[in-house]
Amino acid sequence: MGRTRLFALFSLLTLTGFITTLDNTVINVALPTVQRELSLTVPDLEWVAASYVLSFGALLLPGGRLTDLFGRRSVLAAGILVFTAASAAAALADSGGMLIAARTVQGVGAAMVIPASLAVIAVDLPARLRATAVGLWTAALAVALALGPVVGGFVTQRWGWGWVFALNVPFGLIALLLMPAVPGRSAPRRGGLDLPGVLLSVLALYLLTYGLVRGQEHGFGTAPVPLCLGVSAVAACVFVVVEARTARPLVELRLLRDRFLTGGIAAQVLWGIGVNGVFFFTALYLQRVLGFSPTGAGLAFLPLAGALLLGTPVAERAARALGAHVSIAGGLCLVAVGLLYVSGAGARAGFWDLQPGLLLIGWGSAFTTPLTVRCLAQVPETGMGMATGLVSAAREVSGVFGVVLVGVVLTRRESSELRSGTDPRDAFLEGYDLGLRLAACCVLAGAFVTLVTLRRRGRHRRVVARSRSRIPLVMK
């Protein structure tokens, strides 16, 4: 693979990761303007915000399976096309229903793009370049999460809310022009799509995501949250039974018997809980407590993304020297320390006061980049889409669950402080500190899981060398 083609492929993967992640948060700042101009009710506005996340998270498993059936290049191109067309429709929406529908279709496209792009990194890139691709891809996700409120606020103020979505169109067209850089070979077709499995997985993941999002906003005892979570649990149990009996499963359950895969997913979920709590609630802390503008709050996270990108090459060397299970666990411990540092910054912190903690989070996250080397090293190429869909779905749910878990702790502590007469800003700060300390505990639990489940027998250098030839990392 020549340098020009490699550069085009790296650009494509980074670009797709950036735009699909940006849409998680870019609309939030623009919501008041959208509500006013389209005359939306509060429930309509909630669906505008949540519809993308719901369809994205619910369809990642089918997106991964389609990658196995029809090939990485085909599914990636189709996903980019769907995402770009839906972005154009969202930009032109003149009603709440049209905007919600377009956002939902955006999520469908993203659910095809992410597993396919990760499978391209895992299979089509030379082994020596996978760590670089992973570092760029992960940094793109971090920058997208950080810049979402900045981009949304700037574009809405200067040009109008429709341009929040219209900006995806040229990026999507560029990505389509770069598609020839993806190798044409693809995984062989095996059977068909497991429609009962698709329906059950979509139902379980959709209701779980919706229940968590709505429960965080309105309370977990509020209808229909308990019903959604209960039906989701039942659908998940039926899904397992169906997948165990079908000849063409959406997810081959034998994959879950591999402790490296299950342990890696568990560690990634625990990491995601902590890091997503940082991005979501620290942005609120910066604005509500410290008085940052939305732009300033987003820019505060850029050093974190830079540390993540710069730390990735060091993480590869640390994994070879110490063993990946040790280096990953050490990285998770650094993330936990960073969370504790940020949680104790207080009400008078400035931009530079926060950076040591945020840099520790970014640097520690970089050291988790060999995670999927352990997680997916035993997955055959023909099942790579299935595996990356599973990992991506776990990552997406962990993001929602992280916001919910930290949010529940924060709001309950904040409400308790308010009832006792505490100033509203100090009450929020008390809840925020407690929520981030809980997130730090989750990340530390992830470090323990990593040490227990991802350790291999024998000399780690020999194992790492063998696994590096197979697969790289997935992270948010």
Q: pLDDT tens digits, residue range 8-57?
A: 999 999 999 999 988 887 887 788 789 889 998 877 887 888 889 889 98
C-alpha dist (Å) from residue 184 to 36, 110, 247, 380: 47, 21, 28, 19
Instruction: Please tell me the total count of domains within the chain.
Output: 3
Q: Is 330 within a domain?
A: yes
* Dihedral angle over CA of 229, 107, 476, 21, nearest 10: -140
Is pLDDT of 2 > 60? Answer: yes
401 in the same domain as 290: yes
**208 and 182 in a common domain:** no
Structure tokens at 60: 């990642």
What's residue 190's pLDDT?
55
Q: If you average pLDDT over every residue of the chain, what do you get? A: 85
Q: Are 370 and 463 in contact (CB under 8 A)?
A: no
For residue 165, give the CATH number of its domain: 1.20.1250.20
Asked which of 249, 267, 292 is the last residue of a domain, the reply is: 249
Q: Report the SS3 class of residue 1.
A: coil
Q: Using 50, 70 and 90 to split pLDDT, how confident is the model at 474?
A: very low
Binned at pLDDT 50, 70 and 90, residue 185 comes out as low
CA distances from 34 to 42, 68, 156, 233 (A): 11, 39, 9, 34
Instruction: Specify if 210 maps to a domain.
Output: yes
Q: Which residue type is seen at 183? A: P
Give the C-alpha separation, 107 to 190, whole Å. Answer: 26
249, 275, 296: which is the final residue of a domain?
A: 249
* Whole-number pLDDT of residue 191: 62
Q: Does one domain contain both 164 and 58?
A: yes
271 and 240, same structural domain?
A: no
Is 225 within a domain? yes
Same domain (yes/no): 174, 262: no
Tell me the residue range of the domain where 203 lies. Answer: 194-249
Looking at residue 457, the DSSP 8-state letter turns out to be S
- Residues recorded for the chain: 476
Flag whether 139 is in a domain.
no
Q: Residue 137: inside a domain, yes or no?
A: no
Helices (H) and strands (E) in the chain, counts: 20, 0
Reported as a pLDDT band with limits 50, 70 and 90, residue 465 is: very low
Q: In the structure encoding, which two tokens stand for residue 392, read together?
A: 């991506």
136 falls within a domain: no
C-alpha–C-alpha distance, residues 283 and 26, integer Å: 13
Q: What percent of the chain has pLDDT over 70?
A: 92
Taking residues 129-136, report their average pLDDT: 74
pLDDT of residue 462: 42
Q: Are residues 423 and 355 in the same domain?
A: yes
Query: Is the pLDDT reported for residue 464 higher than 70?
Result: no
Identify the band that residue 461 occupies on the pLDDT scale cut at 50, 70 and 90. very low
Which of 194, 180, 411, 153 has its CA nearest to residue 292? Answer: 153
Shared-domain flag, residues 81 and 179: yes
324 and 472 co-located in one domain:
yes
Q: Are residues 310 and 402 in the same domain?
A: yes
Structural domain includes residue 460: yes
Nearest-angstrom CA–CA distance, 37 and 32: 9
Residues 236 and 281 placed together within one structural domain of the fold:
no
Distance, CA of 311 to CA of 328 (rounded, Å):
12
> Does the pLDDT at position 199 exceed 50?
yes
* 27 belongs to a structural domain: yes
Same domain (yes/no): 199, 309: no
Same domain, 60 and 16: yes
Kindly report each contact of residues 445-448 with a partner whose C-beta sits within 8 Å and lies 24 or more positions away, as own/partner: 445/270, 446/266, 446/267, 446/268, 446/269, 446/270, 446/271, 446/274, 446/332, 447/267, 447/328, 447/329, 447/330, 447/332, 447/333, 447/336, 448/329
